[in-house]
Amino acid sequence: MRRAAMLLILRQMSPKILPTATWVILFLGGVHAIAAESLGETLRAANVPVQGFSEPELSRKITSYAISTGDPFLLAYYVDDGSGQLHAPLYVVRVDRETGNPRRADLPDIGALLQDGDRMECLGSALRISEHRGTVYIETHGGPSAGCIVVLSSVLSYRAALSGWLLGLVGSDYAIVRESEMHFLSVSPLHIAAYDLVRNRSVQVFPPEPDVFRQQYSRSIQPHISLKWCMENNAQCDPGNFDTEIPDRLVVNEEAKTFGFEARFDAGGFGPEAEQHVATRTVAYIFRERTGQWQHREFEPSQIPSRFGVLNIGDLVTRIPDKAFGDDVVK
């Protein structure tokens, strides 16, 4: 089974069908079970002072939570009321390790806009919580093919909710987001947006225009599409919209306001003939921000050593990002 097909199966296995006390969150890296315990037990296990919390707070059974045990300590959780369902609010705790002083926020109702403009609810299971340059990010489960990123200030005031998954952060200015996709599509395309934290707006940067490599891959799929197979399998079979994944992590150069990654194209979802005759293809992309605009370049990964004198896209982004945008490499 191709990796893209496996990803689709994993996305269809929603943790919302399980009781909150025994939820299983599925990741490509493994399976993580989350069991209910008290807030006090969680804080003490992370060596967080509890003097700033009341006894009723500390005795709360919590579930479906995300935790970061660094400095500051961060926790996003729901109260387990025994019903097996999640109920608002989503509670957020931030504790400065030096002072031990806690901050709290209760998030009663949060939604984000999908690509088609519909609103999705964001108060699903908390998957991850982190803080970067004074901004707190809480990633929640929004559905089989959807996630949410709740953005708070360091004092836990609400700033925004984004539909998707957090891929990387470019300083204090931009969050790079993989946008949520429509569930049950025959393909798993890749859409990436740069969310401007200062101006509170998102700009889609991937797929970029123009992109000669995507055009070539689309043309290679076209002759192998069977309309009969597409109708029988309720597949969209749009050759310009194909499976795309990022096998490795996004690479970021905050100082240069640049990020990059390798994207892998796959012909899964177009029928057995396309899967047999169209090989996967990997393309390296690099993006940089200049005066509020995002520029991009794309390369065959094998071209990078000869063109730039570094081994891969990671070295190009972290060591000599501007060289990728020189006049000698403009297509």
Helices in 152-267 by DSSP H: which ranges?
212-221, 227-232
Does 214 lie in the same domain as 160? no
Three-point CA angle 178, 62, 84, nearest 5° = 85
User: Looking at residue 211, what is its pLDDT?
Assistant: 95
CA–CA distances in Å: residue 195 to residues 169, 211, 258, 262, 294: 10, 22, 14, 20, 11
**80 token code pair:** 């387990």
CB-based contact 284:260 (threshold 8 Å): yes
| DSSP element (H, E) containing 226 | none
User: Looking at residue 145, what is its pLDDT?
Assistant: 72
Is the confidence at residue 4, as pLDDT, over 50?
no
Residue 108 corresponds to which amino acid?
Answer: P
Domain end, chosen from 206, 239, 261, is at 206
Work out the percent of the chain whose per-residue pLDDT is above 90. 76
Q: Please, which residues bridge with residue 63 across strands?
A: 78
Q: Please, which residues bridge with residue 192 across strands?
A: 178, 206
Q: Which of 115, 68, 122 is nearest to 93 (CA)?
A: 68
Number of H helices, E strands in the chain: 8, 21
Q: Which of 318, 257, 326 is nearest to 291 (CA)?
A: 257
Strands (DSSP E) found in 45-101: 61-68, 73-79, 90-95
Q: Which of 216, 145, 246, 215 is nearest to 186 (CA)?
A: 145
Where does the pLDDT of residue 20 fall: very low under 50, low under 70, confident under 90, or very high at 90 and above?
A: very low
Cis peptide before 15 (omega within 30 of 0): no
Where does the pLDDT of residue 24 fall: very low under 50, low under 70, confident under 90, or very high at 90 and above?
A: very low
Does 190 lie in the same domain as 213? no
User: Looking at residue 323, what is its pLDDT?
Assistant: 96
Is the confidence at residue 123, as pLDDT, over 70?
yes
**Percentage helix, strand, coil, to 5, in the chain?**
20, 40, 40
pLDDT in tens, 202-237: 999 999 999 999 999 999 999 999 999 999 999 999
Residue 324 region, left (φ>0) first, then alpha (ψ -120 to 50), else beta?
A: alpha
Does 129 lie in the same domain as 101? yes
Does 130 lie in the same domain as 11? yes
Of 52-66, 114-128, 244-258, minimum mean pLDDT range: 114-128
Domain end, chosen from 206, 234, 257, is at 206
Does 194 lie in the same domain as 323? no
Where does the pLDDT of residue 111 fall: very low under 50, low under 70, confident under 90, or very high at 90 and above?
A: confident
Does 197 lie in the same domain as 212? no
Domain end, chosen from 175, 206, 237, is at 206
Does 45 lie in the same domain as 119? yes
User: Looking at residue 198, what is its pLDDT?
Assistant: 92
Does 214 lie in the same domain as 202? no
User: Looking at residue 14, what is its pLDDT?
Assistant: 33
Does 213 lie in the same domain as 167? no
Note down the domain range covering 280: 208-331
For the chain, the average pLDDT equals 86
User: Looking at residue 120, what is its pLDDT?
Assistant: 82
Is the confidence at residue 298, as pLDDT, over 90?
yes
Does 175 lie in the same domain as 227? no
Where does the pLDDT of residue 312 fall: very low under 50, low under 70, confident under 90, or very high at 90 and above?
A: very high
Q: Which residues contact 98 (CB under 8 A, 6 or more apart)?
A: 71
User: Looking at residue 160, what is its pLDDT?
Assistant: 93
Q: Please, which residues bridge with residue 287 across strands?
A: 259, 296
Where does the pLDDT of residue 57 fall: very low under 50, low under 70, confident under 90, or very high at 90 and above?
A: very high
Q: What is the mean pLDDT of residues 135-160?
A: 92
Counted domains in the chain: 2
**178 token code pair:** 């993989």
Does 296 lie in the same domain as 167? no
Does 163 lie in the same domain as 212? no
Is the confidence at residue 27, as pLDDT, over 90?
no
CB-based contact 165:175 (threshold 8 Å): no
Higher confidence at residue 16 or residue 117? Answer: 117
